[in-house]
Structure 1
Amino acid sequence: MKALCWHGKGDIRCDTVDDPTIEHDSDIIIKVTSCAICGSDLHLMNGYMPTMESGDVLGHESMGEVVEVGKGHSKFKVGDRVVVPFNLACGECYFCKKQLFSLCDRSNRNASKAIEVMGHSPSGLLGYSHMLGGYAGGQAEFLRVPYADFGPIKVPDGMADDQVLFLSDIFPTGWMAAENAEIEDGDTVAIWGCGPVGQFAIQSAWMMGAGRVIAIDRVPERLEMARTHGRAETLDFSDVKVYDALMEMTGGRGPDRCIDCVGTESDAGASADAILDKAKAALHIGTDRPHVLREAIFSCRKGGTISVPGVYIGMLDHIPFGAAMNKGLTFKMGQTHTHRYLEPLLQKVVDGDIDPSFVITHHASLEDGPDLYKSFRDKEDGCIKVVMKP
């Protein structure tokens, strides 16, 4: 089959690889009908995620048609259309029973690698390094889905792929980001990053009762999407000092809730701390570039909440923790507990509360994938969200 594979920093290729096979009785194999490039895939492309190996199949936003089921599998049948959550969960361990599915104790088959780095292991992830299970991803013609008796969700008849594909990751991630922000009716919510997750965080903040949403970026088409589809007030950080602008917009109090949808590879322009972060990364003496997190800590009102769906990987330098402590801020973060949100968010799509396809800017084939990875990374050609049709 054809698949997008990682071959080193900046080197993504469309290769021919072996088709997946059933490995456990609960597995299913799907013929992938749609898959997408996620912002967190860029951390792999750019070489920031450890334990990648040449030839690893990428991708964790996928859906398709079931073509084979394991002997012990009874949830789906051949021909069913399903969306696959990006993280894997057993549904039975201590953390799954608490609905903390991204912390599943059983699904990372390489848990010891993660424990060395983090102290504990999160769940396994599709297509996202050997530290997180070494599972082949779904930017491919076929995908083996482990723990399929618990994870995937069946697509209702008549719904197009573009309406439901993002249940795999970015819609639940934006929703949980807003949920973690603990939004109360009328709150002012500031969201850093107007990429796909940021766009869904904007939509989710409104659905949770926000009174104002302020979106921060510098890419014109992303800011325009936040204004038009997201009905957000926008700040271009290349034109204004974000902290000063937020204080002016909120009468000096600061936003009630701040959401960092950027994470490790912050593009903060010419700010001194951002330049230093980039230099450290280039010299391999640092990994993450946490300008946005610093800015959110300074900007958030006293007693406010900071939600972090943006992916961080290693050690963060010069975080103003004294400011966070003395301002009494609450932090909530983590990989998305995707399984928790599949049914309720699908219902929102069915009911017409949201059409997630608004975020798509490019449809393509797998063969186009390597070039579109670069367009997405470099923010060229108006590229916000790529959906590929294997």
Structure 2
Amino acid sequence: MKALRWHGKKDIRCDTVPDPKIEHPRDAIIKVSSCAICGSDLHLYDGFMPGMESGDIMGHEFMGEVMEVGKENTALKVGDRVVVPFTIICGECDQCKRGNFSVCERSNRNRDIADKMFGHTTAGLFGYTHLTGGYPGGQAEFVRVPYADKTHVKIPDGLTDEQVLFLGDIFPTGWQAAVQCDIEPTDTVAIWGAGPVGQMAIRSAVLLGAKQVISIDCVPERLSMARAGGAVTIDFKEESVLERLKELTGGKGPEKCIDAVGMESHATRSLDAMYDRAKQAVMLETDRPHVLREMIYVCRPAGTLSVPGVYGGLLDKIPFGASMNKGLTWRMGQTHVNRWTDDLLRRIQEGQIDPSFVITHTVSLDEGPRMYKTFRDKEDGCIKVVLKP
């Protein structure tokens, strides 16, 4: 089969590799009909996440048709159409029983490594480093899905791939980011980053009843899409984020702030951004946390910071004293995908939202390596890439 594989920093190739096989009675083999390049994949492409090995198959946002099931998998049958969440879940451990699926205690087959890195293991993830299990990802023609009797979302007839594909990651990720804010009808929600997750967070905050949603980015196409979704926009290259947020909130600051950027934040007018790039260049810092610093500073006292953006390691110069003294609440983490998918699938079926709005490019799997660069460099108006194996 064909698959996109990581061969080092900025080196993604479409290779021929062996087809996957059933390895455990709960497995399923999926023939991929659609997959996508996620912003989190760019952290791997840029070489910022530890634990990648040459030849690893990329991708954690995919769906398709069930081709084969293990003998203990009674939840699926050949021919079922499914979206596969990026978080691999057993459905039986204490965390899964609590709905904390992204910290499943059993699905990371490299849990000893994760225990040493994080203190306790998190869930296994598709296509996302050997810290999270080293599982082959979904940017491929076929995928083996472990714990497939739980790690799936069945798709009813009448919905296109494009409508439901993002139930595997970016839609529930943006939704969880907004839900974590406990949005009140009087709230202003400020969202840093208008990429795919930021776009879903904007529409989620609107659906959850925020008084005002503000999107902060610098890419014209992203800002235009954010406005179409109901947000007021701030172009941080053209205006001061701090001053504009004061204007838009009567000087009080937003009650809720969402970091949909993560470890590779960009800034053009700040000394801290230059500091981060210098320390990152000599490997004294792994992540660039400009957005986190800015959120702490501008958030209204007693407000909430929600962090769906991925961070990989060590951060420097975080004004934690300001956060403590302002009484800010932090909520973060990888997405508990299956906690949200029943509700979100219903909203798609009822026409409340069609997540396909975010797609700007649809190409073949062979074109994937080229599209990684296009997406990373924000060329050709690229916001979201869907691949068709």
State the TM-score, normalized to the length of structure 1.
0.99
| 2:273 alignment partner in structure 1 | 274
1:151 matches 2:128 = no
Q: How far did residue 269 of structure 1 move? A: 2.1
| 1:54 alignment partner in structure 2 | 54
Give me the whole-angstrom Cα distance separating, in 1, the residues matched to 2:186 and 2:159.
34
| 2:190 alignment partner in structure 1 | 190
What whole-Å deviation, never above 9, does each CA across 1:144-190 have from its counterpart, x for those lacking one? 11111112011111210000000000000000000111111121000
| 1:260 alignment partner in structure 2 | 259
Q: How far did residue 116 of structure 1 move? A: 1.3
Give me the whole-angstrom Cα distance separating, in 1, the residues matched to 2:59 and 2:212.
34
Residues 215-294 of structure 1 mapped to structure 2, 5 A cutoff: 215-228=215-228, 230-294=229-293
Give me the whole-angstrom Cα distance separating, in 2, the residues matched to 1:158 and 1:236.
39
Give me the whole-angstrom Cα distance separating, in 2, the residues matched to 1:269 and 1:133.
37
State the AA in 2 paired with 1:332. R
State the AA in 1 paired with 2:157. D
| 1:346 alignment partner in structure 2 | 345
Structure 1, unaligned stretches of length 5 or more?
Answer: none
| 1:87 alignment partner in structure 2 | 87
Give me the whole-angstrom Cα distance separating, in 2, the residues matched to 1:275 and 1:79.
53
| 2:383 alignment partner in structure 1 | 384
Give me the whole-angstrom Cα distance separating, in 2, the residues matched to 1:199 and 1:232.
9
State the AA in 2 paired with 1:13. R
| 2:304 alignment partner in structure 1 | 305
Q: How far did residue 243 of structure 1 move? A: 1.3
State the AA in 2 paired with 1:259. I
What whole-Å deviation, never above 9, does each CA across 1:318-356 have from its counterpart, x for those lacking one? 001111011111000000000111111000000100000
Give me the whole-angstrom Cα distance separating, in 1, the residues matched to 2:284 and 2:320.
21
**Matched position secondary structure for 2:267:** coil
1:125 matches 2:131 = no
Give me the whole-angstrom Cα distance separating, in 2, the residues matched to 1:251 and 1:313.
35
State the AA in 1 paired with 2:388. K
Asked if structure 1 preserves the Cα contact closer than 8 Å seen for 2:183 and 2:205, the reply is yes
State the AA in 1 paired with 2:372. Y
Q: How many pairs were matched up?
A: 389
Give me the whole-angstrom Cα distance separating, in 1, the residues matched to 2:345 and 2:179.
17
Moved over 2 A (4+): none
Give me the whole-angstrom Cα distance separating, in 2, the residues matched to 1:382 and 1:92.
43
Q: How far did residue 65 of structure 1 move? A: 0.5
Q: How far did residue 72 of structure 1 move? A: 1.1
| 1:37 alignment partner in structure 2 | 37
Give me the identity figure in percent.
65
1:359 matches 2:344 = no
Residues 96-135 of structure 1 mapped to structure 2, 5 A cutoff: 96-135=96-135
Alignment RMSD (CA, Å): 0.7
Give me the whole-angstrom Cα distance separating, in 1, the residues matched to 2:325 and 2:25.
53
Bigger CA drift: 108-117 or 193-202?
108-117
| 1:174 alignment partner in structure 2 | 174
What whole-Å deviation, never above 9, does each CA across 1:94-129 have from its counterpart, x for those lacking one? 101110000100000001111111111110000001
Q: How far did residue 270 of structure 1 move? A: 3.6
Asked if structure 1 preserves the Cα contact closer than 8 Å seen for 2:206 and 2:230, the reply is no
**Matched position secondary structure for 2:39:** coil
